[in-house]
Amino acid sequence: MIQKVFSVNGVERNVVVDPEVSLATVLREQLGLTGTKVGCDQGQCGACSVILDGKVVRSCATKMKRVADGAKVTTIEGIGTPDKLHPVQQAWIAHGAAQCGFCSPGFIVSAVGLLETNQKPSRQDVRDWFQKHRNACRCTGYKPLVDAVMDAAKVVRGEMS
Ligand code: FES
């Protein structure tokens, strides 16, 4: 077992964990942050995406031994609030980008990660980003998701409210 002290959504967390256990398991089962979903548990679907030290990662495929002491993790619970949604979350609703909703936390976290690195993505950039991060949706198809990110990008740039 190893001890890890790291920050999740701005709150310091101190856990004792098996070094081989995944970050997704720790988030969900030890810290109660069940907004992070586990679909495939094999790094293939992106449902478990979180932001780790500024990078979008699949938390099911990120073992705790790879999470540095002092690391900063952002999960869906750290993005927006019910009273003040993040622009990506607002756009998700406006475009009906969720159907069953299972993949939405991972997509939204991934999209926020994209907009933190590129506030003016093209539609192809958005598609490439989701492909690179293996975000997969089986319900809506990808058009509403890309539409949502394009609108959210305009809001982030201050071109749309
Ligand atoms: Fe992690 Fe599918 S649950 S990538």
Angle at 116 between CA 124 and CA 79, to 5 degrees: 110
pTM for the predicted model, two decimal places: 0.96
Cα 78 vs. chain centroid, distance in angstroms? 10
In whole angstroms, what is the distance from residue 46 CA to residue 133 CA?
Answer: 6
Q: Does ipTM surpass 0.95 in this model?
A: yes
CA atoms within 13 A on the CB side of 34: 2
Structure tokens at 116: 């933190």
Q: How many angstroms is it from 41 CA to the middle of ligand 1?
A: 5
Closest ligand 1 atom to Cα of 41? 3
Q: How many angstroms is it from 88 CA to the middle of ligand 1?
A: 21
Structure tokens at 153: 């990008």
In whole angstroms, what is the distance from residue 7 CA to residue 10 CA?
Answer: 6
Give, for all 161 residues of the chain, the pLDDT tens digit. Answer: 999 999 999 999 999 999 999 999 999 999 999 999 999 999 999 999 999 999 999 999 999 999 999 999 999 999 999 899 999 999 999 999 998 999 999 999 999 999 999 999 999 999 999 999 999 998 888 999 999 999 999 999 999 88
Identify the CATH homologous superfamily for domain 87-156: [2Fe-2S]-binding domain (1.10.150.120)
Is any atom of ligand 1 closer than 6 Å to the C-beta of 40? yes
User: Do 71 and 46 contact (CB within 8 A), yes or no?
Assistant: no
Identify the CATH homologous superfamily for domain 2-78: Beta-grasp domain (3.10.20.30)
Domain range list for the chain: 2-78, 87-156
Instruction: Give the DSSP per-residue string, 139-157.
Output: SS-SHHHHHHHHHHHHHHT
- Per DSSP, which regions of the chain are E strands? 2-8, 11-17, 49-52, 55-58, 72-74
From 23, 27, 45, 75, mutation site for ligand 1 pocket: most ligand atoms within 8 A of C-beta: 45
